[in-house]
């Protein structure tokens, strides 16, 4: 398999896609708020992120092990055609597209919901709660005394109060005239997303890198660590604090670099080519030598190139 021409830009620009891959972290505060046992959230986060990392590593290793440095930016589009020099099983291609559609649908709904919630609070004025005063504690349900533990009515009231606490948003949406406004606001947000996707349909990978390196990295990686250190810095050990600061600095540097690199093709795209590209035009920028132009399965071409590269 052809080996890649590794450079800093190639390695650093992966940050945008990786940050986007972990974008679901934006829903962690909502899960923490709604979870019936918030103390289990650290374990849930570790298990979930580990599983996600294993899945991404499996996809990455499988792709590179098959096509090497000629791996395309979008595997689905590549296996649907003949860009990689072979025709994939049509049944496998159909299943891959179906599963990808399911993944995108679920991921989009998960990531967009916090934006809905925030806009509903800012624009419509709902979901607002009274701020906590410094020096006060969060009110909790009063535990029944020992003599009341056997009283069914007391236990029913406690369960009801706990349910109302976790069902606050549902009651908010049921208020008269609220949900039509919420639906209209969400439709506007979805329409804006469709417009953005349509404008940059030919720059999908750059758009993903730009979004991941800017918004997702800031909201899901940098700010959570900063807020964590702000509120619990005095309780955090020095090794953990040093690691957190290091993660913030590296994320800021890579995020700024990838945002700048991906913003160029989005906001100042190069002129589109109108002519027919030559047969040996560069197709695989991550490779070197003859593998830049021709798919690696064309062994006769690469053997001829290795023997007499001046002919090409």
pLDDT of 228? 87
- CA gap 260, 187 in Å, rounded: 31
pLDDT tens string 93-137: 899 899 989 988 888 888 888 888 888 889 988 877 655 555 555
Q: Is the pTM of this model over 0.75?
A: no
142-146, 195-199, 213-217: range with lowest mean pLDDT:
142-146
CA distances to 41, 141, 299 from 34, rounded to whole Å, are: 11, 16, 58
Residue 166 has pLDDT above 80, yes or no: no
Residue 162 has pLDDT above 50, yes or no: no
- CA gap 232, 210 in Å, rounded: 31
Residue 257: pLDDT band by 50, 70, 90 thresholds? very high
pLDDT of 161? 47
Residue 150: pLDDT band by 50, 70, 90 thresholds? very low
How confident is the prediction for the chain on average, in pLDDT?
79
Residue 246 has pLDDT above 50, yes or no: yes
Instruction: Show the CA angle centred on residue 21, arms to residues 209 and 240, nearest 5°.
Output: 105
Residue 312: pLDDT band by 50, 70, 90 thresholds? low
CB neighbourhood size of 39 (10 A):
7
| Signed CA dihedral, 23, 28, 34, 38: sign only | positive
What secondary structure, in 3-state letters, does the chain show? CCCCCCCHHHHHCHHHHHHHHCHHHHHHHHHHHHCCCHHHHHHHHHHHHHHHHHHHHHHHHHHHHHHHHHCCCCHHHHHHCCCCCCCCCHHHHHHHHHHHHHHHHHHHHHHHHHHHHHHHHHHHCCCCCCCCCCCCCCCCCCCCCHHHCCCHHHHHHHHHHHHHHHCHHHHHHCCCCHHHHHHHHHHHHHHHHHHHHHHCHHHHHHHHHHHHHHHHHHHHHHHHHHHHHHHHHHHCCHHHHHHHHHHHHHHHHHHHHHHHHHHHHHHCCCCCCCCCCCCCCCCCCCCCHHHHCCCCCCHHHHHHHHHCHHHC
Residue 156: pLDDT band by 50, 70, 90 thresholds? very low
Give the mean model confidence (pLDDT) for residues 186-194. 93
pLDDT of 144? 41
Q: Which residue's structure tokens are 């990531």?
A: 111
Residue 148 has pLDDT above 60, yes or no: no
Instruction: Show the CA angle centred on residue 202, arms to residues 201 and 204, nearest 5°.
Output: 65
């Amino acid at each position: 398999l052809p080996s890649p021409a590794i450079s800093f830009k190639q390695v650093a620009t992966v940050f945008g896609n990786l940050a986007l891959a972990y974008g679901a972290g934006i829903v962690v505060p909502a899960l923490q708020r709604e979870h019936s046992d918030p103390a289990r959230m650290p374990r849930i986060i570790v298990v979930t992120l580990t599983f996600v990392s294993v899945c991404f590593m499996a996809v990455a290793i499988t792709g590179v092990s098959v096509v090497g440095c000629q791996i395309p930016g979008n595997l689905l589009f590549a296996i649907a055609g003949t860009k990689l020099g072979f025709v994939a099983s049509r049944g496998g291609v159909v299943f891959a597209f179906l599963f990808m559609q399911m993944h995108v649908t679920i991921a989009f709904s998960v990531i967009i919901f916090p934006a809905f919630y925030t806009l509903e609070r800012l624009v419509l004025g709902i979901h607002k709660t009274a701020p906590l005063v410094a020096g006060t504690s969060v009110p909790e349900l009063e535990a029944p005394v020992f003599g009341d533990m056997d009283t069914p009515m007391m236990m029913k009231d406690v369960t009801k109060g706990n349910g109302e606490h976790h069902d606050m948003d549902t009651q908010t949406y049921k208020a008269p005239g609220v949900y039509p406004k919420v639906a209209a606001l969400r439709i506007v947000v979805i329409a804006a997303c469709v417009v953005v996707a349509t404008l940059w349909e030919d720059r999908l990978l750059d758009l993903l890198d730009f979004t991941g390196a800017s918004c997702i990295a800031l909201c899901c990686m940098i700010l959570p660590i900063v807020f964590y250190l702000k509120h619990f810095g005095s309780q955090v050990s020095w090794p953990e604090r040093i690691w957190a600061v290091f993660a913030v600095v590296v994320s800021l540097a890579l995020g700024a670099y990838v945002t700048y690199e991906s913003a160029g093709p989005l906001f100042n795209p190069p002129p589109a080519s109108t002519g027919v590209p030559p047969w040996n035009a560069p197709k695989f920028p991550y490779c070197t030598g003859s593998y830049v132009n021709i798919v690696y399965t064309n062994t006769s071409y690469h053997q001829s190139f290795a023997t007499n590269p001046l002919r090409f």
